[in-house]
């Protein structure tokens, strides 16, 4: 990708996690921050623009989930619960006791499940364009997902996968697993959302796939949470690859908002 020359130094590796050979990258030093990508994505297609900024002041742990990027597939459908369990197991493997977590899109839903299922390892959560209820997307979204094909997947995401994946045939597997998971998405129960204790920052675009109304509904359900509705589309505020336009500037990114939240005191 174009910004590879600006990529900060990092270490990477694989961990055998719950039957997966799971890929991860480590950047910077300081308090740990886990980055969880969205559907059809890799570390770089979602986070290449914000990693150099976040890694200046903290340790960034970026992961690739089942069937995505360099992580292999298990013979099972994807679930947000399993992804959360995989991330928790990876953190234990790396010896990280507690971490902040930022998830984008499907990765935000995984972050919610991490806070629900493994609250002991989560300090703060940043929920970027995150779906918790089927009502949180515009009319027509679910019909579109039911008819999703690899051909109408964004080219930048296909190219991002093929750039790093060991087997190009995995692209179809990733697409089909992601589509199937979304078609069968079930609302996260209110009692699970209201039980989340981790402080949360919810970020949404005003022209997002996730509606601003849903972001507000989620903010009202999470006890200790703040909401930022920012101009732009799905992930534009973090520089997600499909949103990059001519004249892109780092100053357009939401990193200062994210860092102010993460660096602020815990209220408990």
Find the CATH number of the domain harbouring 113: 3.40.50.1820
Average pLDDT, stretch 7-16? 94
Cβ(28)–Cβ(47) below 8 Å: no
pLDDT value, residue 266: 80
Task: Give the pairing of strands 59-64 and 20-27.
Answer: antiparallel
Cβ(77)–Cβ(44) below 8 Å: no
Beta bridge partners of 14: 23
How many distinct structural domains can be found in the chain? 1
% of the chain at pLDDT higher than 70: 97
| pLDDT, tens digit (0-9, with 9 covering 90-100), for 214-261 | 999 999 999 999 999 999 999 999 999 999 999 999 999 999 999 999
Asked if residue 128 belongs to a domain, the reply is yes
> Does residue 4 carry a pLDDT above 80?
no
- pLDDT band at residue 6 using 50, 70 and 90 as cut-offs: low
pLDDT value, residue 3: 39
Asked if residue 243 belongs to a domain, the reply is yes
Average pLDDT, stretch 74-94? 97
- Residue bearing tokens 């020359």: 5
Asked if residue 143 belongs to a domain, the reply is yes
> Does residue 149 carry a pLDDT above 60?
yes
Distance CA 171, CA 169 (A): 5
pLDDT value, residue 1: 32
| pLDDT, tens digit (0-9, with 9 covering 90-100), for 126-146 | 999 999 999 999 989 999 999
| pLDDT, tens digit (0-9, with 9 covering 90-100), for 37-68 | 999 999 999 999 999 999 999 999 999 999 99
| pLDDT, tens digit (0-9, with 9 covering 90-100), for 174-202 | 999 999 999 999 999 999 999 999 999 99
pLDDT value, residue 244: 96
Q: Two tokens at 267?
A: 């209220």
Q: Which domain holds residue 174?
A: 2-263
pLDDT value, residue 267: 64
Average pLDDT, stretch 82-95? 98
Beta bridge partners of 102: 35, 126
Asked if residue 268 belongs to a domain, the reply is no
Beta bridge partners of 25: 12, 62
Q: Two tokens at 32?
A: 């740990």
The DSSP annotation for the chain comes to -GGGGGPPPEEEEEEEETTEEEEEEEESSSSEEEEE--TT--HHHHHTTTHHHHTTTSEEEEEE-TTSTTS---SS---HHHHHHHHHHHHHHTT---EEEEEETHHHHHHHHHHHH-GGGEEEEEEES---SGGGS-TTHHHHHHT--GGGS-HHHHHHHHHH-S-TTHHHHHHHHHHHHHHT--PPPHHHHHT--S-EEEEEETT-SS-HHHHHHHHHHSSSEEEEEESSSTTGGGT-GGG--TT--GGGSSHHHHHHHHHSPP--
pLDDT value, residue 265: 87
Classify each residue of 27-49 as buried b or exposed e, where b means 16 or more C-beta atoms within 10 Å of its C-beta.
Answer: bbeeebbbbbbbbbbbbbbbbbb
Dihedral sign from CA coordinates of 248, 249, 250, 254: negative
Beta-carbon contacts of residue 150 (< 8 Å; ≥ 6 apart): 158, 171, 172, 175
Q: Mean pLDDT, the chain, as a whole number?
A: 96
């Amino acid at each position: 990708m174009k910004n590879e020359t600006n990529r900060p130094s990092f270490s990477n590796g694989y961990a055998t996690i719950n039957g997966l050979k799971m890929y991860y990258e480590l950047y910077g030093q300081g308090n740990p921050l886990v980055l969880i990508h969205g559907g059809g994505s890799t570390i770089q297609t979602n986070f290449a623009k914000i990693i150099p900024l976040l890694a200046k002041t903290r340790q960034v742990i970026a992961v690739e989930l089942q069937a995505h990027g360099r992580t292999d597939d298990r013979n099972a459908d994807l679930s947000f619960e399993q992804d959360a369990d995989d991330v928790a197991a990876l953190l234990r493997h790396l010896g990280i006791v507690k971490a902040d977590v930022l998830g984008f899109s499907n990765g935000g839903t995984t972050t919610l499940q991490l806070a629900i299922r493994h609250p002991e390892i989560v300090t703060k959560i940043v929920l970027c364009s995150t779906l918790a209820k089927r009502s949180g997307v515009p009319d027509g979204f679910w019909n579109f997902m039911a008819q999703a094909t690899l051909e109408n997947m964004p080219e930048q995401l296909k190219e991002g996968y093929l750039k790093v994946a060991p087997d190009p045939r995995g692209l179809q597997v990733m697409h089909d697993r992601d589509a199937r998971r979304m078609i069968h998405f079930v609302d996260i129960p209110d009692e699970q959302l209201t039980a989340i204790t981790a402080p949360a920052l919810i970020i949404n675009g005003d022209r997002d796939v996730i509606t601003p109304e849903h972001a507000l509904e989620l903010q009202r359900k999470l006890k200790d949470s703040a909401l930022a509705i920012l101009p732009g589309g799905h992930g534009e505020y973090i520089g997600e690859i499909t949103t990059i336009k001519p004249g892109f500037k780092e100053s357009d990114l939401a990193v200062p908002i994210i860092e102010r939240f993460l660096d602020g005191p815990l209220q408990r």
